[in-house]
Amino acid sequence: MKKKPLKKLSVSLKSKSYEIYFGYDILENSNYILEKYIKDKSIIIVYDQILEKNLKFLSGSLSNITNNLESIGVKSGEKSKSLEMYSFLNEKIIEKGVDRKSILVAFGGGVIGDLVGFVASTMLRGIDFIQIPTTLLAQVDSSIGGKTGVNSIYGKNLIGSFHQPLAVLSDVNILKSLSKKELISGYAEIIKHALIKDKIFFKWLTGFGEDIIYGNDELRVEAIYKACNIKREIVQEDELENGPRALLNLGHTFGHAIESYVNYDGSLLHGEAVSVGIILAYKLALKIGSTSSREFDIVLNHFKKVGLPTSIKQLTDKIDNKNKLWQLMQNDKKFSNGKLSFIIPEKIGQVKIRNDISSEVVLSLLKEEIEK
Ligand SMILES: NC(=O)c1ccc[n+]([C@@H]2O[C@H](COP(=O)([O-])OP(=O)(O)OC[C@H]3O[C@@H](n4cnc5c(N)ncnc54)[C@H](O)[C@@H]3O)[C@@H](O)[C@H]2O)c1
Ligand SMILES: [Zn+2]
């Protein structure tokens, strides 16, 4: 093995415990890392077609530990997270040959991870899968925690399951081909984790944020590790999102409504919408007096410094009706028992779930944001 993975985290859950491996050159060395999980089992890699060139490193390495290796390419993009693709993949995998010990490998961003995890969760009533996330967003967020699924024509992620992976391999080398926009989008989820639970991590990010976005590998490994560690702690506490796991939705009630307003047309990325959503959650917190303008300024300055979007106007000119945006926020699945729940910042590194925010105060914020 050329280089060992630098770091490892163990996620211990009721349903399953698994390891996340972080580092460089992981694809080429995946046989060493995965040997204990997959030796001589039949493996089917489902990959994002954009990674065609990288696939040979992964399959070359895995072919050292199994003679039964297949791969299936999936078209890039959110459209592939559909029931049609779910159904196609199921049939394709059965056609290639699958048994209860077969393992699926999800090689791609969050779309592939969510899709393949869902296929694995129902294939022969549930088989194992391994996540090899290839976007920054997927490495720090979607590849851990076990939420899988596809989109419905009525909304995102409405059809799915909880199905934890067997292992996660996070290789920073693969991030080199991502666009700046994709990296910024992933960084938004990193900063989200810090703001939820870790003031010291936030402070560290204010020193190294730009280096992480623009490609310092060592710092990237560190940042991904730290973000995953926060998500790990929260998921361990509440695997099925009955309580504190909702904290991970900081910025997402606004963010999802922004994405939905533009019909997921690809003009803005999830992390960009979340970035603006976090700032709006702070503005809401200011309005209700739960945080201070000093704390908000520190956060806002960091967002601006690293190039994270901070207002709806900066993202798109398509959002011009506050009532429609409010309506979309209420369609979000976090609306239950007639009350919309918000994750409201208190201090840096501390947020709270609140179900007592009046529609008037939210609407007045949206009015200021959209009509300014
Ligand atoms: N399960 C969860 O807990 C969870 C959490 C957050 C987000 N998500 C889901 O994740 C998805 C978003 O994830 P994403 O941003 O990774 O999307 P994605 O998988 O669509 O990847 C983004 C883009 O990058 C391309 N790409 C992937 N790897 C690349 C690489 N190494 N180099 C160059 N291009 C590459 C893809 O083809 C795509 O065009 C959404 O569907 C969202 O709902 C799930
Ligand atoms: Zn998110």
DSSP letters of 7-19? Answer: EEEEEE-SS-EEE
What would the mean pLDDT of 94-101 be, rounded to a whole number?
97
Write out the two tokens for 301. 């300055």
Distance CA 246, CA 244 (A): 5
Tell me, using a 6 A CB cutoff, whether residue 259 lines ligand 1: no
Distance CA 119, CA 148 (A): 9
Q: How far is the CA of 299 from the centre of ligand 1 (A)?
A: 25
Tell me, using a 6 A CB cutoff, whether residue 71 lines ligand 1: no
Question: Is 228 within 8 Å of 220 (Cβ atoms)?
Answer: no
Residues 6+ apart with CB under 8 A from 218: none
Least distant ligand from the CA of 191: 2
Q: How far is the CA of 11 from the centre of ligand 2 (A)?
A: 20
Question: Looking at 135-139, 144-148, 330-334, which range is the least confident one?
Answer: 330-334
Q: How far is the CA of 188 from the centre of ligand 2 (A)?
A: 8
335: pLDDT confidence band, cut at 50, 70 and 90?
A: low
Tell me, using a 6 A CB cutoff, whether residue 198 lines ligand 1: no
Pairwise pLDDT comparison (319 vs 332), residue with the higher score: 319
Q: Please, what is the average pLDDT of the chain?
A: 94
Task: Note the pLDDT of residue 331.
Answer: 80
Pairwise pLDDT comparison (3 vs 26), residue with the higher score: 26
Residue 6, pLDDT > 90, answer: no
84: pLDDT confidence band, cut at 50, 70 and 90?
A: very high
Tell me, using a 6 A CB cutoff, whether residue 363 lines ligand 1: no
Task: Note the pLDDT of residue 86.
Answer: 98
Distance CA 150, CA 159 (A): 6
What would the mean pLDDT of 40-44 be, rounded to a whole number?
94
Tell me, using a 6 A CB cutoff, whether residue 106 lines ligand 1: no
Distance CA 25, CA 5 (A): 8
Tell me, using a 6 A CB cutoff, whether residue 161 lines ligand 1: no
Q: Which domains does the chain have, with CATH numbers?
A: 7-177 (3.40.50.1970), 180-371 (1.20.1090.10)
Least distant ligand from the CA of 165: 1
5: pLDDT confidence band, cut at 50, 70 and 90?
A: low
Tell me, using a 6 A CB cutoff, whether residue 68 lines ligand 1: no
Task: Note the pLDDT of residue 333.
Answer: 59
Tell me, using a 6 A CB cutoff, whether residue 231 lines ligand 1: no
Task: Note the pLDDT of residue 334.
Answer: 57
What would the mean pLDDT of 191-217 be, rounded to a whole number?
97
Pairwise pLDDT comparison (264 vs 332), residue with the higher score: 264
What would the mean pLDDT of 164-179 be, rounded to a whole number?
97
What would the mean pLDDT of 76-93 be, rounded to a whole number?
97
User: Exposed, middle or buried by CB within 10 Å (0-12, 13-18, 19+), for 360?
Assistant: exposed
Residue with CA nearest ligand 1 atom 20 = 77
Task: Note the pLDDT of residue 337.
Answer: 62
Residue with CA nearest ligand 1 atom 37 = 76
Pairwise pLDDT comparison (291 vs 241), residue with the higher score: 291
Q: How far is the CA of 272 from the centre of ligand 1 (A)?
A: 13
40: pLDDT confidence band, cut at 50, 70 and 90?
A: confident
pLDDT one-digit tens code per residue, 275-291: 999 999 999 999 999 99
248 DSSP assignment? G
pTM attached to this predicted model? 0.95
